[in-house]
Structure 1
Amino acid sequence: MNNIELPVEKEPEVKSTDDTSLLVIILDTNPGQKLLRENPNIITQVVDSVVAFGNSHLMQKAQNKLAILTCHSKTSQFIYPGPKKLLDVRQIDGQYEAFTLVEKTVKQNITSILSMENSGIVTESLLAGAVAMALCYIARIQRTKANGVKLNCRILVVTGSSDSASQYMNYMNVFFTSQKQNIVIDVCALDQHLSLLQQGCDITGGLYLKVPQVSALLQYLLWVFLPEPPIREKLILPPPVKVDYRAACFCHRELIDIGYVCSVCLSIFCKFSPICTTCHTVFKIPGPLAVKPKKKKIKM
């Protein structure tokens, strides 16, 4: 997360008096994902679906805003709008220039990022850091908007990675920050169920969906995640899944059902320890219970 470059925008200020919707998409491009290791060519279809979904969001209203981040094993980076100068794009085959700009910028930046990534080393994706970057970007846009403008912000995470209990505290920090800022987090899982991200959706009031078929990703994105949160109550959407609220222990970073909680810093451990490894509090170990001696029977 070092040397983070903020994206450059032509007009960072929102000048419209109408309600504006800002959508920040976090795309997991880590080649260590099981989905990409088994079929590396599927990344092209996922990127095309995400670009088409982002353009559909811009098509809904002229005032809508879009930002896309890519997340992989070493860092997270904005790919639209990118840190570099905007491309000079002309109309191609009757396509709207703004849509062409999104497509070319995203594909160009993803190509350069994947070329620097070492696919031989399998490491987890830094999704929690990407959500934190998205929250910082939203806070900056909130500060630069005109007075009287209502800006509705939400985050969509598209990932095929597995759960990462080692990022448990980072996840909880960004989830409760999003809840405090009234920012909805949606999650689209491509490979397997993610219990920690399910908790984030439930905490922020977002939607969680595991796509049955990656080939139909665009259809699911348009059906479930394109409508704004206030409109979703009037639509027939997939039923919510049962949220797994298990916590990750601080010692082995594994999800547990029953554990020990430090009474000082609320750290969670799967096994009892006389000293908290987080705040170094020493606990008093109660001694064994006293056993009353049995009375001997007096022989008559």
Structure 2
Amino acid sequence: MNIVLPEESQQDASSAEETSLLVIILDSNPGQKMLRESPHVLTHCVDSVIVFANTHLMQKVQNKLAIMACHSKSSQFIYPDQGKHGDIRQVDGQYEAFTAVEKITKKNLAKVLTSDGSAVITESLLAGAIAMALCYIARLQRTKPPGAKLNCRILVVTGSSCSTSQYMNYMNVFFTAQKQNVVIDVCALDQHLNLLQQGCDITNGLYLKVPQLQGLLQYMMWVFLPEPPIREKLVLPPPLKVDYRAACFCHRQLIDIGYVCSVCLSIFCKFSPICTTCHTVFKMPALPAVKPKKRKKM
């Protein structure tokens, strides 16, 4: 006997097999300009990220979460970790899973901040952190149960400036995320980030420069909490014009007009007879022909 489910029941059954994975990359580099001026801002950002992460878990039982800390020399996962946490209990009636997210995240983040006692470096390894997140997502995609659907997205929360020295790394992770159907969202806390804005446009993600840091949690709930299929039905901030300037391979500076190698497509701001990437030798441009001067008739 064949039983046909109603349309709503079929939608519920299909949605129950879908899992939404959110990987949050939190820039914890103390060399960020806003943290050098106001170190207590990091506490506010961490608390907002934790509440946002718990809200994501609260939306659906199948939802999964991972949080990374990005530093000046390394990036690592601070939630979940491999240790067992059977001693975590309710605090003031809070759900145990939410308590675990808060305690584990803060404990591992404190280890990251105290382990790096070197000089202050303003550049954060955001491209490397995104690459690690993509590897983590690829592993979960391979180990998921048959028939299950895993919707993955990455949220980058940073106050650092865009480093053109990581241009090639950024482009590699952006197009890898596009191939894996992973959406990259960026929440800029201090200044506009041109390269990360390109990544959001390439992967159909959202880019937001937070107008007021005090309302960080409200902006994250409004813009980044809804999943990509739902965002089309919401009124979100209008997209900004994307600056698609490329960085030259010689000086790592954004340029409007440059020279492109016809073999490896490397970009240079000045003409070079030899490509420094693939070592191809080009012909020198011919000098303009000099016309002989006409002699005056006597």
What is the TM-score when the length of structure 2 is the normalising length?
A: 0.92
Counterpart of 1:95? 94
* DSSP-derived class of the 2:276 partner: coil
2:230 counterpart of 1:202: no
Gaps of 5+ in 1: 1-15
* Counterparts of 2:242 and 2:285, CA distance in 1: 36
**Counterpart amino acid of residue 94 in structure 2:** Q
Counterpart of 2:238? 239
1:55-98 C-alpha deviation (Å, 9 max, x unpaired): 00000000000000000001000000024334531111110000
Checking the alignment, whether the CA contact within 8 Å between 2:24 and 2:66 is kept in structure 1 is: yes
Counterpart of 1:31? 30
* DSSP-derived class of the 1:57 partner: helix
2:167 counterpart of 1:168: yes
Percent identity reads 76
**Counterpart amino acid of residue 256 in structure 2:** D
* Counterparts of 1:281 and 1:59, CA distance in 2: 56
* Counterparts of 1:98 and 1:150, CA distance in 2: 23
Checking the alignment, whether the CA contact within 8 Å between 2:249 and 2:266 is kept in structure 1 is: yes
* Counterparts of 1:111 and 1:137, CA distance in 2: 22
Gaps of 5+ in 2: 1-14
**Counterpart amino acid of residue 167 in structure 2:** Y
**Counterpart amino acid of residue 216 in structure 2:** L
* Counterparts of 1:252 and 1:269, CA distance in 2: 8
Checking the alignment, whether the CA contact within 8 Å between 1:27 and 1:157 is kept in structure 2 is: yes
Displacement after TM superposition at 1:130 (Å): 0.3
2:163 counterpart of 1:178: no
Checking the alignment, whether the CA contact within 8 Å between 2:16 and 2:62 is kept in structure 1 is: no
Counterpart of 1:5? none
2:66 counterpart of 1:64: no
Q: Residues 124, 108 of structure 1: CA spacing in aligned structure 2 closer, same or farther, 3 A cutoff? A: same
Counterpart of 2:217? 218
Count how many residue pairs are aligned between Structure 1 and Structure 2: 284
Displacement after TM superposition at 1:287 (Å): 2.3
Q: Residues 254, 82 of structure 1: CA spacing in aligned structure 2 closer, same or farther, 3 A cutoff? A: same
Q: Residues 264, 74 of structure 1: CA spacing in aligned structure 2 closer, same or farther, 3 A cutoff? A: same
**Counterpart amino acid of residue 171 in structure 2:** M
Counterpart of 1:42? 41
Checking the alignment, whether the CA contact within 8 Å between 1:250 and 1:269 is kept in structure 2 is: yes
* Counterparts of 1:87 and 1:196, CA distance in 2: 42
What is the TM-score when the length of structure 1 is the normalising length?
A: 0.92
Checking the alignment, whether the CA contact within 8 Å between 1:32 and 1:119 is kept in structure 2 is: no
Checking the alignment, whether the CA contact within 8 Å between 1:17 and 1:148 is kept in structure 2 is: no
Counterpart of 1:74? 73
1:17-68 C-alpha deviation (Å, 9 max, x unpaired): 5211000000000000001000001100000000000000000000000000
* Counterparts of 1:17 and 1:50, CA distance in 2: 26
Checking the alignment, whether the CA contact within 8 Å between 1:17 and 1:149 is kept in structure 2 is: no
Counterpart of 1:188? 187
1:233-258 C-alpha deviation (Å, 9 max, x unpaired): 11000111110101111111111111
Counterpart of 1:9? none
* DSSP-derived class of the 2:199 partner: helix
